[in-house]
Amino acid sequence: MPRPISARIHLDAVRQNLQLVKRLAPSSRVWSVIKANAYGHGIERIYPALAEADGIALLDLDEAVRVRELGWKKPILLLEGIFEPTDVETADRHRLTVTVHSDEQLALLKASRPRERIDIQLKMNSGMNRLGFRPGEFEAAWEHASGIEAVGSIGLMSHFANADDGAIDWQTDEFDAATRNLPGTRSLSNSAAVLWHPRAHRDWVRPGTILYGASPTGRARNIEGFELRAAMTLESRIIGVQMLAPNETIGYGRTFTADRAMRIGVVACGYADGYPRHAPTGTPVMIDGMRTRIVGRVSMDMLTVDLTPCPAAGIGSSVELWGEHVRVDEVAEPSGTIGYELMCALARRVPVSIDAGVTSEPETHTA
């Protein structure tokens, strides 16, 4: 029998989260962002839940090809664009929309001879200072792109640096000023802007982490009131029980000392499964439906929990590490990281099953 740890992917949660995006941004089309293998959930696994998306956005050409091979006929956006002539050939073959953020990428398109023109999203660096043309260069970049025979439609996009803490006006104003005289659809909003900044919704929104039920801020309290559901549950079981006397310690480094007699549960989950090694004592966990805490240091294959709040729990009791009752952000925040990282870091050795919910296949017509 394998170790009792497993993960479940909830397709109805993805569907519900996508519908929330559509309600919050009713005048916008939706790029569903599934980069990093759908934030660790698995592209093939969540694909049936994406039927109502208007497009799919990702990074890797390989992932884009996988989505086309699954039967997706609507737009696919490469968020970092192309880097070699063969990338242009792949974009042409699979009808991909390409983000363009540099003169070098424009040169690749100019030198290409695709069968059909390639639609692009021209990216502005409005203050994030990662990728894109600066506002003062943007109109010239648009003029350059519009004169390239290989280029089809030109959309305009940018990315917010801190939409999660409310400060977007400075970037929105830069973008609007630089694009005032340019045609094309606009796309600005990431997950945080979808939730909190309707001014930035424009023609397309690009939700990522909220599709999977995690907070854009990395803090679970910030998405209270939104009907976001966890798309991933990481669960295991108790495989051992120990009794600690007062002043006894537990685990590597002896970082936890019992201040009273305690029952301790040993859970089959550790950092080699994707649980954060730096999760401190007090990080929440659910045992048989009752909330308690981990104690001591997380090791490679096991962690230990306080069974005081759940006296009936014992070997074989169910454990939710994160999911519906313990949000992934509640584990990530005290560990000094964000829910994105934990979802993406789910280890290959963890068996994954799919909770399909209502069966629904993505539409296959062209948008």
**CA separation for the pair 281, 295 (Å, rounded):** 4
Q: Which of 6, 72, 81 is closest to 43 using CA atoms?
A: 72
Write out the two tokens for 269. 């989950």
Angle at 196 between CA 194 and CA 198, to 5 degrees: 65
* Look-up of token digits 């929105």: 172
State the DSSP H helix or E strand holding residue 35, giving kind and residue range, or none if neither: helix 35-39
Q: Which residues are designated catalytic?
A: 35, 252
- Residue 96 near residue 90, CB atoms below 8 Å: yes
Q: Say how many residues make up the chain.
A: 367
Give the torsion sign (CA, 131, 132, 136, 141): positive
**CA separation for the pair 319, 288 (Å, rounded):** 6
- Residue 144 near residue 169, CB atoms below 8 Å: no
Compute φ and ψ for 250, nearest 5 degrees: -145, 140
What is the C-alpha R_g of the chain? 23
**CA separation for the pair 84, 105 (Å, rounded):** 9
Question: From its phi and psi, is residue 142 left (phi > 0), alpha (psi between -120 and 50) or beta?
Answer: alpha
Strands 29-33 and 55-58: parallel
C-alpha of 211 from chain center: 7
